[in-house]
């Protein structure tokens, strides 16, 4: 139930040209496992890209997006 809802919300967000990190997914969608939801969407043939970012504190975080053509 919740996974499907999260997948739809995440896909809609990314499809609008917005980017998403795990922290953003938790705040916006209550999603604790963004990488798992991204994997679900990739298995459905959505072309989601990942860029690794370094925070000012030195932590690496993944930022997901869909390229607009």
Q: 13 is in which domain, residue-wise?
A: 2-65
Whole-model pTM? 0.89
At 54, list the tokens: 């370094």
Query: What are the φ/ψ torsions at residue 55 (nearest 5 degrees)?
Result: -75, 165
What is the average pLDDT score of the chain?
93
Q: Could you identify the residue written with the tokens 């939801």?
A: 37
pLDDT tens by residue, 2-48? 556 899 999 999 999 999 999 999 999 999 999 999 999 999 999 99
Structural domains of the chain, count: 1
Cα dihedral 18→21→25→26 (10° resolution): -150
């Amino acid at each position: 139930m919740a996974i499907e809802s999260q997948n739809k919300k995440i896909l809609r967000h990314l499809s609008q040209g917005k980017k998403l990190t795990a922290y953003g997914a938790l705040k916006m969608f209550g999603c604790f496992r963004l990488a798992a939801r991204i994997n679900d969407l990739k298995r459905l043939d959505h072309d989601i890209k990942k860029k690794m970012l370094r925070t000012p504190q030195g932590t690496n975080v993944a930022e997901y997006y869909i390229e607009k053509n």
